[in-house]
Structure formats: C-alpha cells, structure tokens
C-alpha cells in the first residue's frame, strides 16, 4: 500500500461539517435547505461545477448562486479556487452522494437530550 493511500474508514464522511456550518444548516428555512440539497445532487451527479452553470441549471438568482457556492465550498463538495487554479473541482464522488445527503439531513434534524 502506498504511503499516501487512505485507509478505508466507514465512519468517515465525504463532507466536512464544523459547528458554524452545522448552525447554518439548522437555521435555514425549508426552501433554502431544499435548494442546497438540489445543488449538491446536481453538482455531484454531473461532476462539473461552475457558478454560472449552477445558476442556469437551477434557475436561481446570482445572490442565491453565491450563497450556495460558499456552502458547497465550506462542506467540501467543491474545491475553493485559488489564484493559480481558478476553477472549482467537484470533490465528492457519485458513489458518496447518498452519504452526503444523509449527513445533511442528519445535521438538519434537531437532536434532543433525554431528561
């Protein structure tokens, strides 16, 4: 095995959720959350991302496109462009889509502590 190979780990999520992103997901209204789910689905299944392509395919405004793009970057679904590499790469494989969607719904659902 290569020194750079990643050992398989069933508990590893293909996306990253920190506490801030978790709070953002929980604070979204249902329409905003549905928009994000549709965007994740579209981007992962197509394995291509451009802000303009997302805006056109989903028929959303420029402001909505910017917000969704920032969230997709924060979640680790797409890469953040750099000065050297100006394009976004899709970081989630198609076979990981169901795990990503499950994770999103997990963070959307409030947890209750047993009293």
Q: Is the pTM of this model over 0.95?
A: no
Residue with more model confidence, 64 or 85: 64
| 38-80 tens-digit pLDDT | 999 999 999 999 999 999 999 999 999 999 999 999 999 999 9
Query: What is the C-alpha to C-alpha distance for residues 74 and 15, in angstroms, rounded to an integer?
Result: 9
CATH code reported for the domain at 19-107: 1.10.10
Query: What is the C-alpha to C-alpha distance for residues 100 and 54, in angstroms, rounded to an integer?
Result: 19
pLDDT at residue 39, as a whole number: 98
Residue with more model confidence, 2 or 29: 29
Residue 16 DSSP SS3: coil
Selection from 13, 36, 16 nearest residue 79 by Cα: 16
Domain ranges of the chain: 19-107
Q: Hey, what's the torsion of the CAs at 30, 36, 40, 46, to 10 degrees? A: 110
pLDDT at residue 115, as a whole number: 53
pLDDT at 2 over 70: no
Residue with more model confidence, 110 or 53: 53
pLDDT at 92 over 60: yes
pLDDT at residue 12, as a whole number: 54
| 4-26 tens-digit pLDDT | 333 334 445 677 777 888 888 88
């Amino acid at each position: 095995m290569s020194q750079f190979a990643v050992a398989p780990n069933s508990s590893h999520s293909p996306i990253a959720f920190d506490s801030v992103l978790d709070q953002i997901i929980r604070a979204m209204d249902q329409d905003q959350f549905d928009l994000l789910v549709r965007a994740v689905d579209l981007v992962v299944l197509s394995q291509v991302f451009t802000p303009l392509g997302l805006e056109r395919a989903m028929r959303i405004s420029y402001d909505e496109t910017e917000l969704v793009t920032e969230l997709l970057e924060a979640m680790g679904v797409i890469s953040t462009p750099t000065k050297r590499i100006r394009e976004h790469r899709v970081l989630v494989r198609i076979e990981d889509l169901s795990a990503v969607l499950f994770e999103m719904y997990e963070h959307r659902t409030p947890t209750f502590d047993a009293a």
